[in-house]
Amino acid sequence: DQQVKQNSPSLSVQEGRISILNCDYTNSMFDYFLWYKKYPAEGPTFLISISSIKDKNEDGRFTVFLNKSAKHLSLHIVPSQPGDSAVYFCAAKGGGGADGLTFGKGTHLIIQP
Amino acid sequence: GAGVSQTPSNKVTEKGKYVELRCDPISGHTALYWYRQSLGQGPEFLIYFQGTGAADDSGLPNDRFFAVRPEGSVSTLKIQRTERGDSAVYLCASSLGRGQETQYFGPGTRLLVL
């Protein structure tokens, strides 16, 4: 069973507009969430994270929102730029003492000029 | 400073052979993680080291997989009697240690078992 779900395999957004990537989770014991960006043939690059005690974290063009009651988080990128085209992974930590991250399957973001 | 490095970047082997994959974490990072990423999937956790000891190996799929970190820095993931299903990208990540949650990933080793 997938504990972290990214239900959109791909998303196309026009340059300059807002990109919103969504992530749902099932394990209420997760206490830390991260977003990673991945280009082809490279390892995931850390973008932004949020602790379960917060509902928002912002870093430049990137903002992550956490809705614990809905077990949902989202990553907002504004304004979207061509270099943002990549696969974005949502990851969660905790979940009953596990030390590794649990990842979603990723969303391929395509920024159109 | 230097990030996480992994060697080799690509490895092709035949079914039944033994392979070793190496990871060099960020200097000063005491925690080291191995993940495996299959096509179309997110990375899946394999094993976690805190210092020299394997603190959590619950993600290792079977006893053909083994990892070591003898001096608390470089780690080697070892796969015996490789199978075609072992083909994947093997990712290594490191972090500062307990309480420091952000993991930084290397570029991965692409393993192909023929």
Which pLDDT belongs to residue A2? 87
Asked whether the beta carbons of residue A43 and residue B91 sit closer than 8 angstroms, the reply is yes
Contacts of B78 (CB under 8 A, 6+ apart): B18, B19, B20, B21, B65, B66, B67, B68
Query: Could you tell me the pLDDT band of residue B97, with boundaries at 50, 70 and 90?
Result: confident
Classify residue A76 by burial, with Cβ atoms within 10 Å: 0-12, 13-18, 19+. middle
Which pLDDT belongs to residue A41? 87
Q: What is the mean pLDDT of each run of 10 residues along chain A (113 residues)?
A: 92 98 95 95 95 96 97 98 97 78 97 95
Q: List CB contacts (< 8 A) between B46 and chain A.
A: 100
Task: Give the model confidence (pLDDT) of B13-55 as tens digits.
Answer: 999 999 999 999 999 999 999 999 999 999 999 999 999 988 8
Could you list the residue range(s) of the whole structural domain that residue A16 is in?
Answer: 4-112
CATH of the domain at A53: 2.60.40.10
pLDDT beyond 70 at B99? no
Asked whether the beta carbons of residue A105 and residue B40 sit closer than 8 angstroms, the reply is yes
Pairing of strands A56-59, A30-38: unpaired
Task: Return d(Cα A30, Cα A97) in angstroms, integer.
Answer: 9
Phi-psi category of residue A46: left, alpha or beta, with phi > 0 → left and psi -120 to 50 → alpha: beta
Chain A nearest C-alpha distance from B101 (Å):
8
Residue of B6, B41, B101 with shortest CB distance to A105: B41
Find residues 36-75 of chain A whose CB sits inside 8 Å of chain B: 36, 41-46, 49
Number of domains in chain A: 1
Q: List CB contacts (< 8 A) between B6 and chain A.
A: 43
Residue of B33, B104, B105 with shortest CB distance to A100: B33
* Domains within chain B, CATH numbers bracketed: 5-99 (2.60.40.10)
What number of CA atoms fall less than 13 Å from residue A46's CA on the CB side? 19
Q: By CA distance, what is B31's nearest residue in A?
A: A99
Angle A33-B6-A101 (CA atoms, 0-180°, nearest 5)? Answer: 15
Asked whether the beta carbons of residue A103 and residue B43 sit closer than 8 angstroms, the reply is yes
Task: Give the model confidence (pLDDT) of A94-103 as tens digits.
Answer: 866 567 899 9
Residue of A43, A98, A105 with shortest CB distance to B42: A105
pLDDT beyond 90 at B101? no
